[in-house]
Amino acid sequence: MVRIAGETLHVHFLGTAGALPSPQRNPSCLLIRRGSDTLLFDCGEGAQQQMMRARTGFTVNAVFITHWHADHFLGVFGLVETLAFMGRTDPLPIYGPPWVGEFVDLVQRISRHTRGFSVTAHVLEHGSVVPFNGYTVRAFTTLHGIPGLGYVLEEDERPGRFNRERAIELGVPPGPLFGRLQRGEEVRVVRDGVETAVRPADVMGEPRPGRKIVYTGDTRPLQDQPGIAALIRGADLLIHDATFDDQESDRARDVLHSTAGEAGEAATALGARMLALMHISSRYASTANHIHDAKRQYEGDVILPADLAVLEIPYRS
């Protein structure tokens, strides 16, 4: 059966700083809400307060960690304690690269609060897929000097457009049978005294792609890595490491991060429809150069979101 996708897809930028927090930016934390599901991608310190400020609530279905630098996971400890205090009973899965098992064990040992839920560890590697209802999260390898992963949230294909006029021509009366066809079910109708079957393919157009979000975490550019580029191409939103502006390109290479211009190059090469610059170093009082550097390399929409910004991802035309 084909599922009709119509869920909202929101990205909350709860923390956009690189390495160190600043008065304006918290360490890395993205909250993506797809329909009724809420996923955290990285969980830097202060994540709970950002969730309160953004009024997202604390209903988290899963946590995905990109790598084991502290600015990407320190917020998990407090979040787990708060969820226990609030009476959570559902398990909390934490996904990440190798060492996620040791990390979850540490979370369990540090906590002295009696929890009514389990925290479970799930090791991912390049190409690993985590299925959800109507979409998946797929991991890909990043280039940051330690084992690290980026993530692709991609929806299932949507049904093609329903041809109402054609359905009526085939004898399908407007009403519940229209809905059954759109859900992928065959229906039977009586036409000229003869019962015939009408299949979804008779009245539905070609399937349409769902939406796709790519979050690179901390990394050097990846578009020249064939096995990685194939997974992250064609994103509706590419959230890319842009720790430095282009004046610090040597520094970016030394510490295995990316510049804003390199993020723009990646967005162009990967056919992204929008680029969000992420993980901004605390050395910058102004990010005007970041935007300028990215736009020199990429003709699409470039944003450098402030903390607590929220972006709705629309369906493609």
pLDDT at 6: 66
Whether 89 and 195 share a structural domain: no
Q: How many domains does the chain have?
A: 2
pLDDT at 264 (0 to 100):
98
Whether the per-residue pLDDT at 49 is higher than 60: the answer is yes
Q: Which of 154, 141, 118, 151 is nearest to 40 (CA)?
A: 151
With respect to residue 317, please indicate whether it lies within any of the assigned structural domains.
Answer: no
Residue ranges making up the domain that contains 192? 164-202
In a domain? residue 3: no
pLDDT in tens, 223-264: 999 999 999 999 999 999 999 999 999 999 999 999 999 999
Q: Which of 173, 202, 231 is the last residue of a domain?
A: 202
Task: Decide if 277 is inside a domain.
Answer: yes
Residues 290, 284 contacting (CB under 8 angstroms): yes
Q: What is the pLDDT of residue 1?
A: 32
Give yes or no: 71 in active site: yes
pLDDT at 110: 86
Dist. CA 199–CA 219, nearest whole Å: 47
| pLDDT higher than threshold 80 for residue 180 | yes
> Is residue 241 located within the same domain as residue 298?
yes
Q: Exposed, middle or buried by CB within 10 Å (0-12, 13-18, 19+), for 3?
A: middle
What pLDDT shows up at residue 248? 97
pLDDT tens figures, 80-120: 999 999 999 999 999 999 999 999 999 988 877 678 999 99
d(CA 128, CA 121) in angstroms, rounded, equals 14
Q: Provide the pLDDT for residue 311.
A: 98
H or E stretch covering 130: strand 129-132
33 and 168 in a single domain? The answer is: no
Whole-number Å distance between alpha carbons of 161 and 167: 12
Q: Which residues pair with 39 in a beta bridge?
A: 32, 62
pLDDT in tens, 120-168: 999 999 999 999 999 999 999 999 999 999 999 999 998 889 999 999 9
CA triple 18-23-28, angle to 5 deg:
30
Note the helical H segments in the chain. Answer: 47-54, 75-85, 100-110, 164-169, 176-182, 200-203, 226-232, 249-255, 260-269, 288-297
Residue 4 lies in a domain: no
User: Is 123 within a domain?
Assistant: yes
- Same structural domain, 240 and 283: yes
Dihedral through CA 180, CA 181, CA 184, CA 185, nearest 10?
60
pTM of the model: 0.91
Q: Are 172 and 232 within one domain?
A: no
pLDDT of residue 148: 98
In a domain, 1, yes or no: no
27 Cβ contact list (under 8 Å, min separation 6): 15, 17, 19, 20, 21, 42, 44, 45, 46, 71, 72, 74, 75
Judge residue 237's burial from the number of C-beta atoms within 10 Å of its C-beta, 0-12 exposed, 13-18 middle, 19 or more buried: buried
- Per-residue confidence (pLDDT) for residue 4, from 0 to 100: 44
d(CA 280, CA 25): 8
Report the chain's mean pLDDT, rounded to a whole number: 94
The residue behind tokens 């979000």 is: 213
Could you say which of 150, 181, 202 is where a domain stops? 202
What are the helix and strand counts (H, E) for the chain?
10, 18
Paired tokens of 3: 């599922």
**pLDDT tens per residue across span 272-306:** 999 999 999 999 999 999 999 999 999 999 999 99
Judgement on whether residues 136 and 197 belong to the same structural domain of the protein? no
Mean pLDDT confidence for 175-189 = 91
Q: Which range, 163-177, 182-196, 231-245, has the best average confidence (pLDDT)?
A: 231-245
Does the structure show a pLDDT above 80 at 313? yes
- Are 87 and 116 spatial neighbours (Cβ–Cβ below 8 Å)? yes
Contact 29, 66 (CB under 8 A): no
Structural domain includes residue 265? yes
Query: Is 71 labelled as part of a ligand binding site?
Result: yes
Share of the chain above pLDDT 70, in %: 97
279 is in an annotated binding site: yes
The CATH number covering residue 294 comes to 3.60.15.10
Q: What pLDDT is attached to residue 158?
A: 87
Clarify whether residues 95 and 174 are in a common domain: no
Q: Is 292 annotated as a binding residue?
A: no
Q: Do 147 and 236 lie in a common domain? A: yes
Higher pLDDT pick, 179 / 11: 11
Contact, 293 vs 10, CB < 8 A? no
Half-sphere exposure of 150 (CA within 13 A, CB side): 25
CA–CA dist 85, 91 (Å, integer): 14
Asked whether residue 2 carries a pLDDT value surpassing 70, the answer given is no
Mean pLDDT for 49-75 is 97
Same domain, 177 and 304: no
How would DSSP label each residue in 212-247? EEEE--S-S--TT-HHHHHHHTT-SEEEEE--B-GG
Q: Specify whether 195 is located in the same domain as 119.
A: no
In a domain, 114, yes or no: yes
113 is in an annotated binding site: no
> Do 194 and 153 have their domain in common?
no
Given the residues 71, 245, 246, 307, select the one marked as catalytic: 71
Percent helix, strand and coil across the chain, each to the nearest 5: 25, 30, 45
Q: What is the dihedral of CA 267, 272, 278, 280, to 10 degrees?
A: 30
Are 115 and 220 found together in one domain?
Answer: yes
Over residues 212-220, the mean pLDDT reads 98
For residue 3, pLDDT over 50 is answered with no
